[in-house]
Amino acid sequence: MNLNDRLENGKLLPLADKPNNVSTQTEDADKKLDPLPYRGSKEESKKRLKSILESMEKVVIKNENDSMIYAIETSSFFKFKDDIDFLFSDEENVIHYRSASRTGYSDFGVNKKRMKTIRELYMEEI
């Protein structure tokens, strides 16, 4: 998986016109979430985020480079897969993200809930 395929014009891929996805880089107010601020340096922020992802039992990091992490979460029962992208922006000192279901129409808020949980864990005091 080439991580450049996860980007379009230097930004995370646009969201599908379905309610089963969220992003920090969308204009859709119902799907837009706030990016994660860097906690220290980019390297420290990346290490912190990776630690959170690795602690989540259904999440697997599939690829990463200096500026991105790509992970997949697989649901327990139906084995649906959600793509989760993180893009580190040194210009803004934030981590943009996108979480989207591969199939179906509604996810009953699963992607939004997941990203809010990751945010809470990321923002906790060390």
pLDDT bracket for residue 97 (50, 70, 90): very high
pTM over 0.75: yes
**Tens-place pLDDT, residues 9-52:** 999 999 999 999 999 999 999 999 999 999 999 999 999 999 99
The C-alpha atoms of residue 84 and residue 74 are separated, in whole angstroms, by 11
The yes-or-no verdict on residue 126 having pLDDT over 70 is no
The yes-or-no verdict on residue 95 having pLDDT over 90 is yes
Tokens in use for 85? Answer: 């992208």
Please provide the average confidence, as pLDDT, over all residues in the chain.
Answer: 95
**Domain count of the fold of the chain:** 1
- Residue 58, domain CATH: 3.30.310
